[in-house]
Amino acid sequence: MSGANTLTIEQVISAARQIPSLSVLVMEILASFDKKDVNFTDLVRKIGRDQGLTARVLQVANSPFYGNSGKIGSIKGAVVVLGFHNVRSLVAAAGLINQFPISEIPSSFDRLSFWHHNIGVAVCAHHLAKISGRDESLAFTAGLLHDVGKLVLDAYFNKNFAAVRACCAADDVTMVMAERAELGLDHAQIGYELTRRWRFPAPIQKAIRDHHNPEYEPNSLTDLVHVANVLSHMLDFDDRNSDLMPSLSVAAWTRLDMDHDMLPIQMAEIERQYASMKLLAQE
Amino acid sequence: MINIERLTLDQVETGMLLAQDVCNPNGTCLLSEGMMLSAAMIAALRQREVDYVMVSQEVPLTLEESATLEAGIRARIERLFRVAGTDPIMLKLRNTLLQYRLSALNKSNSPLKLED
């Protein structure tokens, strides 16, 4: 592989080093996903001190979906109504989205639409985790960041990424296929390197790495993100960057024990949740 | 289909659904989105000198409109699944999505069906 746009993993890792670290608060929240003895009160107090994050979370908490229009005025109030775990996921999401400002550099890659797709995958993964009794917070965060490698490409390898998108359009292939052809690596690998640097819980790192290839190291979180990605494309949560269905791994679908007949009910619920959750990303 | 309209207090009727929060000029929320208007609420809004509200109403589609929407749904799904080929699980997903979208269309269109 030696095209004009080829990237090495070393180039990617050195770009990832330039990305500012996550705030201490967001790191602490992410680390708490793995812990059993979390000091809820302390974490809620710290979140409440961050006005930007608090405002975003309250916007979602007050959306019609939760039926509390305008009534929730503080993080403490949000915890009472939504539960600590949901609030924690929302705060982590708002913090991560802030890390990559939506209109940072001019590019034909639509970042708002990017976040809408990723929020869609987060909502799907969260819902699938809930109905199958798996960890909902991990699923939400892994879904939210599954494509973060694309942002690294857009921010640091703009020219190469433009070639990838041109290839998608010309050959009518998914982005991951175009990346492998043009760059010799893909956004899943890049996302893995970045979340390793950010010391995310290991299952999230692996779910991001394998979301297009769930057979590599089968794991229920990877399966959730893989299936959630397919559902999110199906429900058209991102209509500006891609409108091509990725293929679904039958093995992942079977391992999750998904009931196909229940899918319409799940989709209706996912669409309802998505309508509120997309408020996390706004221009 | 849901139609959102701006109506003055003389035009609104009880039973209509609010499409937006109703706030007074200093930003205090009087009624929230999604609430169904009652005679008492309308009277209260009049007292507080609110001029208009945004309401959402179900409007039945004509047969033509409904056929256009259905064609749009089919074309969109065709586009999404254009390279999925004959993979059985993709075909199954495609069919589920089509039924899901069409049933949502029919549901929003039920008043017309009843009249037929």
* Gap between the Cα atoms of B26 and B80, Å rounded: 47
CB A149 within 8 A of CB A170: no
| Positions in chain A whose pLDDT score sits under 50 | 1
Using one digit for the tens of pLDDT, what is the confidence trace for B90-103?
Answer: 999 999 999 999 99
The pLDDT of residue B50: 85
Same domain? B74 vs B52: no
* Gap between the Cα atoms of A190 and A185, Å rounded: 8
Instruction: Give the B-side interface with A, CB within 8 Å.
Output: 21, 29, 32-34, 76, 79-84, 87, 89-90, 92-93, 96-97, 99-100, 103
Same domain? B48 vs B82: no
Residue A31 makes CB contacts below 8 A (sequence gap 6+) with: A199, A201
Identity (one letter) of the amino acid at A78?
Answer: A
> CATH: 3.10.450.50, 3.40.50.720, 1.10.3210.10, 3.30.1180.10. Which one for A9-280?
1.10.3210.10
Same domain? B10 vs B45: yes
List CB contacts (< 8 A) between B76 and chain A.
236
Last residue of a domain, one of B58, B77, B100: B58
Same domain? B81 vs B95: yes
Same domain? B48 vs B69: no
Distance from CA of A70 to the nearest CA of B (A): 8
Same domain? B8 vs B48: yes
Q: Which residue has the higher pLDDT, B77 or A60?
A: B77
Using one digit for the tens of pLDDT, what is the confidence trace for A138-160?
Answer: 999 999 999 999 988 988 898 99
CB atoms within 10 A of CB A205: 22
Best B83, B94, B103 member to test A by mutation, with max A CBs in 10 Å, is B83
Q: How many domains does chain B have?
A: 2
Same domain? B102 vs B77: yes
Q: Which residue has the higher pLDDT, B73 or B61?
A: B73
**Which of A236, A243, A248 is nearest residue B89 as measured by Cβ atoms?**
A248
Give the H/E segment covering residue A195. Answer: helix A187-197
Distance from CA of A68 to the nearest CA of B (A): 9
Strand order in the sheet with B52-58: B2-8, B52-58, B17-18
Q: Where are the alpha helices (DSSP H) in B1-116?
A: 39-47, 63-80, 88-108, 110-115
What is the extent of the structural domain holding B48? 2-58
The pLDDT of residue A239: 65
- Listed by start position, the domains of chain A span 9-280
Same domain? B52 vs B80: no
CB atoms within 10 A of CB B23: 14
Distance from CA of A24 to the nearest CA of B (A): 35
The pLDDT of residue B109: 62
Q: Which of residues 165-184 of A touch B (CB under 8 A)?
A: 172-173
Task: Say if residue A245 is exposed, middle or buried (CB neighbours under 10 Å; 0-12, 13-18, 19+).
Answer: buried
Cα distances from B59 to residues A8, A78, A131, B108, in angstroms, run 56, 36, 35, 8
What 8-state DSSP symbol labels residue A184?
Answer: S
Last residue of a domain, one of B58, B86, B105: B58
Same domain? B67 vs B87: yes
The pLDDT of residue B108: 66
Helices and strands (DSSP H and E) totals, chain B: 4, 5
Same domain? B89 vs B111: yes
The pLDDT of residue A11: 93
Closest by CA position to B4, among listed B15, B20, B22, B23: B20
Same domain? B39 vs B20: yes
The pLDDT of residue B114: 41
The pLDDT of residue A105: 61
